[in-house]
Amino acid sequence: MPEEQKKSGYGKAEAQNKRGAGPIGGSSAAKGEKSVLIIGGGISGITAAVEAAETGCRVYLVEKLPYLGGQVARMNEYFPKLCPPYCGLEINFRRIRNSKWIEVIRSASVEKISGSAGKFKVSLRCEPEYVTSACTACGDCSGVCPVEVENPFNYGMTTHKAIDLPHELSHPNRYYLDDSVCRKDKCKECVSACKYQAINLDAEPYTREINVGTVLFCTGWRPYEPKNLPEYSWGKSKDILNNVMMERLGAPNGPTRGKILRQSDGEPARRIAFVQCAGSRDENHLPYCSAVCCSASLKQAMYFTEQDSENQADIYYIDLRVSGRNEDFLNRVENHERIQLIKGKVSGVSLEEGRPVIEAENILSGKKIRDIYDLVILATGIVAQVPEIPGIDLDQDGFIIKDALENGYSAGGCCFEPKDVAATVRESTGLVINVLQ
């Protein structure tokens, strides 16, 4: 093993990915072998990876976070069937674990891509591997860690330690040290507590070069920044959340173990308002429709009202946009006696004695509405997060322009436009044809 790899700990990460005498382990494909770099380990990248690997293509799956699964890993239930997203993810994680053709490179991002179709040279920046594959996820390190910070997985609704599991079901199930908050120059408590010598506080970042034939962008999306919506009193009450936070609140591994509670005082939420198009289809914010927010709010209203027979939800919308199988889902909500669909754009959310108040006009009746709720959920849209790479042209909204993709590059999932998981999986499966060609 080269000297610089020994220092960085990269050798150990590689070893974790090797399966006997399989093809994983190097940084180039063998002569005549197909190879692909997939950037982004969400459902789009994972699907493309397992499909490509099953055709005997060598796959490098690069994820910037320490775990795979992307946004789907943070969700409670999937529309339209309302099943737990982890069922689908687990099957894919197993396929990845059992594949000799896939190497997962976590906590890494692309620095540079040069070359062209069939002979791309990719330079990756890999973050230090402070916790090695010797970690058994016993949690002793976290138990003694004195640093407690907001947990980004739960959007700051809980805290966690500087060394912790990224989340309960994370794949891989390995602790992670966040060096932006760890005081490793002064404190070595975690190292002393680890019985398996799995913590190396001297690990350093390193660069790795990979040669591949094709590059797939599957970098997905992030939620639109609700701080840009002062008319909805963002940041003024713990009971005004956005839709991705609501997913965490409903999740059994979320901050309240799935019980949907007021964040201000921990009391059960009984009335929730959903504000559709919060910053979407608005020239001042996101001019486009994010395609999934209506179905997401219908789903959230459904699982919230199912938690208790006293729970009620009001969905304020401009027009409800659901398609395909999600239309049946809309019918179920329309017939639900404790979910009200109110056609009207919410003009503002104010606070009365600390509780959120919706101000809107019912377009159908012409009546002005002023109503108090336990929680207000802003259905904020989807923003693309494509890394800046020469040759990848983006439209005015930051999505990749499909027709402008150069030979050898391809993309999937929410890189082109917002879409749901079923459409993402279909598209990513199809992408593999591009790789093989």
Ligand X SMILES: Cc1cc2nc3c(=O)[nH]c(=O)nc-3n(C[C@H](O)[C@H](O)[C@H](O)COP(=O)(O)OP(=O)(O)OC[C@H]3O[C@@H](n4cnc5c(N)ncnc54)[C@H](O)[C@@H]3O)c2cc1C
User: Segment 36-55, which members bind ligand X (CB under 6 A)?
Assistant: 39-45
User: Segment 104-163, which members bind ligand X (CB under 6 A)?
Assistant: 109
Burial-class residue 98 by CB neighbours within 10 Å (0-12, 13-18, 19+): exposed
Pick the closer one to ligand X by CB: 145 or 392: 392
> What residues contact residue 437 under an 8 Å CB cut-off, 6+ apart?
none
Dihedral over Cα of 344, 347, 350, 352: its sign: negative
Burial-class residue 248 by CB neighbours within 10 Å (0-12, 13-18, 19+): buried
Q: Are 428 and 48 in contact (CB under 8 A)?
A: yes
Binder of ligand X out of 218, 289, 358, 411 (CB under 6 A)? 218
Q: Which amino acid is at 236?
A: K
Nearest to 435 by CA among 41, 55, 17, 103: 55
Minimum distance of ligand X from residue 303's CB (angstroms): 10
Binder of ligand X out of 155, 221, 317, 409 (CB under 6 A)? 221
Minimum distance of ligand X from residue 14's CB (angstroms): 18
Using CB under 6 A as the binding rule, whether residue 375 contacts ligand X is answered as no
Pick the closer one to ligand X by CB: 387 or 430: 387
Pick the closer one to ligand X by CB: 9 or 41: 41
Full DSSP string of 230-293: GGGTTTT-TTEEEHHHHHHHHSTTSTTTT--B-TTT-PBP-EEEEEEEESBS-TTSB-S--SSH
First to last CA, the chain: 34
Distance CA 111, CA 370 (A): 51
Nearest to 68 by CA among 88, 45, 91: 45
**Of the ranges 12-20, 63-71, 128-136, 330-338, which one interacts with ligand X (CB under 6 A)?**
63-71
Minimum distance of ligand X from residue 78's CB (angstroms): 4
Pick the closer one to ligand X by CB: 141 or 216: 216
Distance CA 397, CA 70 (A): 21
Using CB under 6 A as the binding rule, whether residue 79 contacts ligand X is answered as yes
Tell me the angle at which helices 293-307 and 243-250 cross, rounded to the nearest 10 degrees: 30
* Count of residues interacting with ligand X (CB under 6 A): 38
Pick the closer one to ligand X by CB: 374 or 417: 417
Binder of ligand X out of 9, 172, 213, 220 (CB under 6 A)? 220
Minimum distance of ligand X from residue 21's CB (angstroms): 29
Q: Give the residue nearest to ligand X (CB).
A: 42
Binder of ligand X out of 103, 164, 420, 427 (CB under 6 A)? 420
Distance CA 69, CA 46 (A): 8
Distance CA 428, CA 130 (A): 33
**Of the ranges 17-25, 66-74, 149-157, 249-257, which one interacts with ligand X (CB under 6 A)?**
66-74
Q: Are 292 and 413 in contact (CB under 8 A)?
A: no
Pick the closer one to ligand X by CB: 175 or 329: 329
Minimum distance of ligand X from residue 52's CB (angstroms): 15
Binder of ligand X out of 151, 305, 424, 434 (CB under 6 A)? 424
Minimum distance of ligand X from residue 109's CB (angstroms): 4
Using CB under 6 A as the binding rule, whether residue 169 contacts ligand X is answered as no
Q: Within 10 Å of residue 363's Cβ, how many Cβ atoms?
A: 14
**Of the ranges 1-9, 22-30, 172-180, 218-226, which one interacts with ligand X (CB under 6 A)?**
218-226
Q: Where on the chain is the footprint of ligand X (CB under 6 A)?
A: 39-45, 62-65, 70-72, 75, 78-79, 109, 218-221, 243-244, 247, 292, 296, 299, 382, 385, 387, 413-414, 419-422, 424
